[in-house]
Amino acid sequence: SAKPDDMDPAVWEKIKDHPCYSEEAHHYFARMHVAVAPACNIQCNYCNRKYDCANESRPGVVSEKLTPDQARRKVIAVANEVPQLSVLGIAGPGDACYDWKKTRATFEEVSRDIPDIKLCISTNGLALPDHVDELAEMNVDHVTITINMVDPEIGTKIYPWIFYRNRRYTGLEASQILHERQMLGLEMLTARGILTKINSVMIPGVNDEHLIEVNKWVKERGAFLHNVMPLISDPAHGTHFGLTGQRGPKAMELKALQDKLEGGAKLMRHCRQCRADAVGLLGEDRGQEFTLDQIPEEVT
Ligand code: SF4
Ligand code: SF4
């Protein structure tokens, strides 16, 4: 497939086979997520902890939580059935960097058996700087950080609290710390040549116009893609926003914002938010064929 004109050839070399990044590749290569990381260290107003993290997956679904060993068995079972499998991602259902021991154990076990699989994670960024060196050692070549603001004042409307270094922070202080850690994490990844995509959740009246500023900051710090996702506000899921009547953007509002961002870090338009336990080619979810009860105890 063809390289977009404005993309660095070295970046293109890394992503051309990646189903999440290349519109072409997503027809030929498959990715899967394993939901091994249930714990999270922040509270987003749009999140209900019963469901998957909205960082990189469709909110409002419950994924089958796995231990690292169960995840290893599942990945091998899928690799045997889906020859196009090229990418293994950990996208929650909480935060892959906060629930670090499980993320690391899963990647170590899987890459022992399938050394050429590409590894990636998504994270809210708070714990990210603590693990960037290990991510580089494990050959994780793609990271997604969800960044919804670069102004902590705006952050106070999105994040009621964070849990950092054994302490809970609220208010402006919480958002200030989160912001600094997100920027530091992004800079550290860029310095190590790890590709970083930014996801932003567009929340009308809260951060919609502000995402233009976010786009500038992340582009300056080396993010290679910026993906704006609409807030899916559903009171039935009991999110804080849902309860206060926060609406999601209309399709036209989302498109208008994406058009304004087009000149910045290259915008990703083909993303379909997938489940934290998605399996298969993009736009296809074979996750239900590979639930634990269908996977043999011993896989080779
Ligand atoms: Fe929920 Fe993800 Fe936010 Fe954590 S980072 S509160 S799991 S949406
Ligand atoms: Fe794709 Fe993101 Fe999942 Fe990685 S974590 S496989 S980039 S959707």
Tell me what ipTM this predicted complex has: 0.88
CA nearest ligand 2 atom 5, residue:
89
Q: 270-288, pLDDT tens digit by residue?
A: 555 555 566 666 566 676 6
Is residue 198 assigned to a domain?
yes
For 140-148, what is the mean pLDDT? 93
How far is residue 86's CA from residue 88's CA, in Å, rounded to a whole number? Answer: 7
Residue 118 scores a pLDDT above 70: yes
For 185-195, what is the mean pLDDT? 96
Ligand 2 centre to CA of 254 (Å) is 22
Which atom of ligand 2 sits closest to the CA of residue 271? 8
Is residue 285 assigned to a domain?
no
Is residue 156 assigned to a domain?
yes
Band of pLDDT at residue 239, cut at 50, 70 and 90: low
How far is residue 222's CA from residue 243's CA, in Å, rounded to a whole number? Answer: 36
- Side chain identity, residue 10: A
| Beta carbon of 233 within 6 Å of any ligand 1 atom | no
What would the DSSP string read from start to end of 218-261?
HHHTT-SEEEEEE----GGGT-HHHHHTPPPPPHHHHHHHHHHH
Ligand 1 centre to CA of 23 (Å) is 27
Q: 87-96, pLDDT tens digit by residue?
A: 899 987 889 9
Give percent of the chain above pLDDT 70: 78
Band of pLDDT at residue 114, cut at 50, 70 and 90: very high
* pLDDT value for 23: 66
Is residue 222 assigned to a domain?
yes
Domain that holds residue 257: 9-274
For 145-171, what is the mean pLDDT? 96
Ligand 1 centre to CA of 44 (Å) is 6
* pLDDT value for 57: 65
* pLDDT value for 13: 80
Which atom of ligand 1 sits closest to the CA of residue 46? 8
* CATH code, domain carrying 178: 3.20.20.70
Band of pLDDT at residue 143, cut at 50, 70 and 90: very high
Is residue 98 assigned to a domain?
yes
In the chain, the number of structural domains is: 1
Is residue 300 assigned to a domain?
no
Residue 213 scores a pLDDT above 80: yes
Instruction: Please name which of 90, 143, 88 lies closest in space to residue 110, comparing C-alpha atoms.
Output: 88
* pLDDT value for 241: 61
Average model confidence (pLDDT) across the chain:
84
Contact call for residues 250 and 238 (beta carbons, < 8 A):
no
Mutate to test the pocket of ligand 2, among 144, 224, 227, 281 (most ligand atoms within 8 A of CB): 144
